[in-house]
Structure 1
Amino acid sequence: MKDSVVTDANTAEGESLAAADDATRAAAARFGAVVASIGDSIRDDDHVLETLDRLVAAACEHIGDVDHASVTIDVDGRSFTACSTDDSTMAIDLEQYDLDSGPCLTAARTPETVVADCDVIDQRWPNFGPTARAAGVHSIVAEPISSAQVTFGAVNLYSRTAHAFDDIDRSLLAALTAAIGSAVGDFARIGAAQDTVDGLRTAMEHRAPIEQAKGILMALHRIGPDQAFDILSTRSQNTNRRLRSIAVEFVAAVSEVSTTVTDTPT
């Protein structure tokens, strides 16, 4: 099932890209490489959250006219944003959760691809839109995330350009959500959807030490955030321990060394 879902999405993407210009095809290829890289290294909730962060960042970088992105999780009436690229995106999502209505929730619950024009009042969600317009967002596309016939959220792309998203953008987004659904489903065996939601919530609450550890590694080795996370991930795999535990111990060890050096008389 996993391979067929991803293959179908990739086929649709390929057909859309056939008529695209060289720059668009090159960007799609780079984005495709990021999407193809996910899944193999997901071993706990911390890895799931990091994967989602990487993918929404890649969507902003490689899909045309995407200015912001987020991932909505919606299971058993509980809705929250697992990751977002900025605070304005979070505010748009929160407006939908407060109203229990909006494009990202429709995508998660229908499930269907939803395209929204934020410059007009949409009768599907008559009260949605003020926060998006205040943030300068004019277009939204939301694609459901599914695994094993269970839809548990949506990836949301936001643009400051009116009528921004075309067939190519939607095909790339479909490939992204298919890959996320397969990866998360393989990790969680999504029959326990509520456990997955609780795990992501916990991972969000324990995010700070991982980000601290990544920052230290980036400064020490002059590397990027992805490479820093990979170092932590490899250590987690080699010791068969949770990634957040590795991060907490690493930050504590660096802090102890720093304090010792500072306290040493000269």
Structure 2
Amino acid sequence: MSVPAQEPEATAVAADGLATELAAVLARMGGVLLSAETVETALNLVARLAAQTVPASVGAGVTIADQRGRRTTAATDAVVEQADALQYRFDAGPCLTAWRDHELVRIDDVVTESRWPQWCGSVRELGVLSVLSAPMLAGQDAIGAIKVYSDEVGAFDARSAALLALFADQAAILLANTQTVTQTRELAEQMTLALENRDVIGQAKGILLAQGAGSADAAFRMLVAVSRRTNRRVAEVAKRLVASVDAQRQLENDAAEE
């Protein structure tokens, strides 16, 4: 079943101390995630905490996805990995529905569930009998979903749904922040690399000009030709040329000092 975001029973349960119960878990998660160096590390931590947080869970998984279909996943065990892989293979399942439709999804019994018969039939063979999946919403966008699996029929109730929904909301904020930090770091590294490549290519062109290349364009074409012949990037060819010239100069300087 799809669980409405404002389901009365779930809302009442949440008001009945559920947020308080989550406080310690979320504090722990926040402290760990804020020091995580990669999104993958953060995902693994969230998956483990989700499995510990929702009663009756035997495993949990987290998926971050974008509209182009790129996914980053984490799972607490091999069964979760296999169940998730089946969703991606069939392009259908509760986790993908939670992400795409921005709704919490609960399966009480995969045997009687009719929405994803192929997936349900396959995960039943893995020992998965009930499922709960919540979208991770960052503003109006779903960055992914968290899911927990159980080997019992009817393992998850309204309280479980409210618990996972609250957990997913906080995880989404933390993962979005971690993802932004990681992307910013990667962009900075790429920009630094591009500047370094530009400088070394310029040095290599200068060396080739000194050795007789007719122009800067001609020198660059020489680098490109070597790049194609050796199947190396132009920047790598340039670095090798600069390094070889520097080494030769060092040898000459050492010889002169002797």
The TM-score, its normalising length taken from structure 2, stands at 0.59
Q: Is 1:113–2:104 an aligned residue pair?
A: yes
- 8 A Cα contact 2:38 2:178, kept in partner: no
Could you say which residue in structure 2 is the equivalent of 1:249?
none
Could you say which residue in structure 2 is the equivalent of 1:76?
67
Could you say which residue in structure 1 is the equivalent of 2:84?
93
Could you say which residue in structure 1 is the equivalent of 2:124?
133
- Count the aligned residue pairs: 178
Larger radius of gyration: 2
- CA distance in structure 2 between the partners assigned to 1:90 and 1:102 by the alignment: 14
Deviations 1:89-131 (A, max 9, x none): 1111111101111110000000100112311251x22321133
- 8 A Cα contact 2:25 2:53, kept in partner: no
SS at match of 1:129: helix
SS at match of 2:165: helix
- CA distance in structure 2 between the partners assigned to 1:146 and 1:17 by the alignment: 18
Two-structure CA RMSD over aligned residues (Å): 3.3
Q: CA deviation at 1:81?
A: 5.2
Q: Output aligned runs, 1:11-160, within 5 Å.
A: 15-16=12-13, 29=21, 31-39=22-30, 42=33, 46-78=37-69, 80=71, 82-116=73-107, 117-122=109-114, 124-160=115-151
- CA distance in structure 2 between the partners assigned to 1:79 and 1:130 by the alignment: 26
- 8 A Cα contact 1:70 1:84, kept in partner: yes
Report sequence identity in percent: 28
Q: Which amino acid aligns with 1:92?
A: A
Q: Is 1:179–2:176 an aligned residue pair?
A: no
Q: CA deviation at 1:82?
A: 1.6
Deviations 1:133-161 (A, max 9, x none): 11111000110011121102100110011
- 8 A Cα contact 1:91 1:131, kept in partner: no
Could you say which residue in structure 2 is the equivalent of 1:253?
none
- CA distance in structure 1 between the partners assigned to 2:132 and 2:33 by the alignment: 27
After superposition, the Cα gap between the structure-2 partners of 1:130 and 1:105, relative to the gap in structure 1 and judged at 3 Å, is same
- CA distance in structure 2 between the partners assigned to 1:172 and 1:101 by the alignment: 24
- CA distance in structure 1 between the partners assigned to 2:81 and 2:176 by the alignment: 25
The TM-score, its normalising length taken from structure 1, stands at 0.57
After superposition, the Cα gap between the structure-2 partners of 1:121 and 1:39, relative to the gap in structure 1 and judged at 3 Å, is closer
Q: CA deviation at 1:46?
A: 3.2
Q: Which segments of 5 or more consecutive residues in structure 1 lack a partner in the other structure?
A: 1-7, 200-266
Q: Which amino acid aligns with 1:16?
A: V
Q: Relative to structure 2, which stretch is displaced further, 31-40 or 93-102?
A: 31-40
- CA distance in structure 1 between the partners assigned to 2:11 and 2:39 by the alignment: 27
